[in-house]
Amino acid sequence: AQRVTQPEKLLSVFKGAPVELKCNYSYSGSPELFWYVQYSRQRLQLLLRHISRESIKGFTADLNKGETSFHLKKPFAQEEDSAMYYCALSPDFNKFYFGSGTKLNVKP
């Protein structure tokens, strides 16, 4: 069965510090991986997806099939990055499975 694990419920960093939000998954095939973000009082929105290999708002995520990980990274965190981040897996774009989320708090 598919499973997405985000081990950290809360991650606090200072502005300008690097940040890495961890995501590990278990799935027998080759799923697509996504990161979604939810800013305070806003709806969930797509941040980036593995398939497009893009960098959004300075964030990148590399799929490591050997370690079954899809960690989200940013070299210099900004206060406006404070939000809830969810890693998600989709076997076929018809189902999406979310991790429990990590709350990122960027301190001034």
Nearer to another protein, 20 or 32 (CB): 32
Nearer to another protein, 20 or 44 (CB): 44
Nearer to another protein, 40 or 94 (CB): 94
The residues binding another protein (CB under 8 A) are: 32, 43-46, 49, 51, 86, 90, 93-101
Q: What is the CA radius of gyration of the chain?
A: 13
86 with 76: CB under 8 angstroms?
no
> How distant, in Å, are the alpha carbons of 27, 41, 57 from that of 22?
17, 24, 18
Q: ∠70-75-78 over CA atoms, to 5°?
A: 105
Tell me the closest approach of the beta carbon of residue 16 to another protein, in angstroms.
Answer: 29
SS (H, E, C) 76-98: CCCHHHCEEEEEEEECCCCCCEE
For residue 92, the one-letter residue type is: D
Tell me the closest approach of the beta carbon of residue 41 to another protein, in angstroms.
Answer: 9
Nearer to another protein, 101 or 106 (CB): 101
Tell me the closest approach of the beta carbon of residue 77 to another protein, in angstroms.
Answer: 23
Tell me the closest approach of the beta carbon of residue 45 to another protein, in angstroms.
Answer: 7
